Amino acid sequence: MDESGLALTPRSLGEQVAETLRAAILSGRLSPGQAVREATLAQEVGVARNTVREALRILAGERLVTYQLHHGVVVSTLTEDDVIDLYGVREFLEPAALLDDAHQTPESVQGVLEAVRRLEEATSQSELTTVVERDLDVHRAIVALRGSPRINDFFTDVCAEVRRCVMLVMYAHAEHQSSHNVDGHRVIAEALVAGNRERAAGLARAHIIETRDQVLQLIRANRPLDAPPASTTPSPPAAPSRQRTLPRRSQRSSTPTT
């Protein structure tokens, strides 16, 4: 307990169950439109139904699950309109943050560089889920250039849905090394550090539009969002998630940026 008399509490069991379900949704082990039964899940995970209900409320707030009349809770399905809206938000926020020199600080600019470094490190280790998180960290750092805690919180919620799109693109190009992805982020950071904010903003905008179009192309090709590769065998949501890896290649590939 600190000197204010308020004790710090660990994450609730509901948050831990939400994390397990989130991993199952993002990996495709729980498919879009699939029902999530409270009683079944409570039994599989070994928790009370109230705990499952808390977890589902968390995921509903992230738009990862949806409550449907007469059907209960189902895994949400991202549509073309959803993707256009999500990437429209990114196109509005990220270039503006890169142009906003009035709120940028040496520390926040360094934060973008550090996020790119962590992305490069994660890519060399070839762990897909880590690469996706480090990718999103770069974009969080860019938005953080505005210095607004409220915008940061809003963008964190946006990232919960964007993560599904990034996972889809990564899965679709899992046979490639993602050095192109790292390079795409690095040139934005380098332009920012050099003081060429207009170039940084333009690169970010092109980067966002490219990824949006990649996701839309996959949807229009009738590949379900969040579907795992054909070699991935679905497993119960309570089982530990297995990380998908990106094979190393010595040559630069054309894997899209995210």
pLDDT tens digits along 43-78: 988 999 999 999 999 999 888 899 988 778 999 888
Fold of 13-75: Arc Repressor Mutant, subunit A (1.10.10)
CA 174 to chain centroid, in Å, comes to: 16
Closest by alpha carbon to 169, among 257, 88, 82?
257
Residue 1: per-residue pLDDT? 43
Q: Look at residue 249 and give its three-state secondary structure.
A: coil
255 against 109, higher pLDDT: 109
User: What CATH architecture does domain 80-220 belong to?
Assistant: Up-down Bundle (1.20)
Q: Where in the chain is the domain with CATH 1.20.120.530?
A: 80-220
Within the chain, all domains assigned CATH 1.10.10.10 are found at 13-75
pTM, two decimal places:
0.74
Q: What are phi and psi of 77, to 5 degrees?
A: -115, 125
End-to-end CA, the chain: 42
Share of the chain above pLDDT 90, in %: 48
